[in-house]
Amino acid sequence: MFRFKQFSVDQTGCAMKINTDGVLLGAMAGDAEPLNILDIGTGTGVIALMLAQRFTNAVIDAVEIDEQAAATAKNNFNNSPFKNRLSLYAKGFEQFFEDHPEKRYDLIVSNPPFYINSLQSPGAKTNLAKHAADGFFEKLISIVATQLTEQGICWLILPVDTSALVKKLALQSGLYLQKTISIHSFKDDAAHREILAFEKNNTQAIAYKFVIYSEPKVYTDMYRDVLKDFLTIF
């Protein structure tokens, strides 16, 4: 059980546990006040829960293809103060939109599977959570482009090499890069993740650097500031 300031997250049966990628995306995604949010591949449900805490008027849908993880996420939603605004769908995003083609979102977020064509990991659940099959990102981006509202934004967190591919796919689908946040463990380290925000309007893109540690085991002020409303250690 991982306890946040306003909710707790049971991780039972979830191959991908709560990690820095997820909590950073949950704390940073979205600039305005979205009313309809979709979390693709919700896992434990932590990102959806963080967004529910941040955006108090938002209704949030979450999809998760792994049945056991979906059941855990649903319990986490039901045990949270935001349960009336959270809905869990135990299916992949393709099936979700086949079943609900009418749905449109102001904000779509995902911490997606990212090891494209890499060596498959031993556990089947970890495979499902961490490895994107051929065509995964093509499908994800093309569907997201059709399901965003006109002013909607899609936020993703990705390894840097995967990020380069997704930027190209987004442009091909009519989505423009609005923001890039490069994530660094220490200030002199190369970025190991990028948070990307895409929208339908071609505006001037913003880029900045986000550093997690000022020294080993000591968080930077920027990390503390972003997560102070969520993590009990701050």
Mean pLDDT of 156-177: 94
Closest CA to 91 of 64, 112, 110: 64
pLDDT score recorded for residue 31: 84
Q: Name, in order, each residue with C-beta under 8 angstroms of 115's C-beta and a sequence gap of 6 or more.
A: 130, 131, 132
**Residue 123: band (very low, low, confident or very high) from pLDDT cuts 50, 70, 90:** low
CA dist 17 and 19 (Å) reads 6
22 and 111 in contact (C-beta within 8 Å)?
yes
- Locate tokens 């550093």: which residue? 211
CATH architecture of 2-227: 3-Layer(aba) Sandwich (3.40)
User: What percent of the chain stands above pLDDT 70?
Assistant: 91
pTM above 0.85, yes or no: yes
Q: How confident is the model at residue 17 (pLDDT cuts 50, 70, 90)?
A: confident
The predicted structure's pLDDT at residue 114: 53
DSSP annotation of 167 reads H
Give the span between the Cα atoms of 173 and 195, in whole angstroms. 19
CA distance 233 to 227: 9
In angstroms, rounded to a whole number, what is the distance separating the alpha carbons of residues 67 and 46?
16
pLDDT band at 131; cut points 50, 70, 90: very low
* Nearest-angstrom CA–CA distance, 197 and 151: 12
Spans of all domains in the chain: 2-227
Residue-wise pLDDT for 186-229, tens only, equals 999 999 999 999 999 998 999 999 999 999 999 999 999 999 99
Residue 48 in contact with residue 55, Cβ under 8 Å?
no
pLDDT higher than threshold 80 for residue 120: no
Q: 67: burial class by Cβ within 10 Å (0-12, 13-18, 19+)?
A: exposed
Site of tokens 């569907």? 143
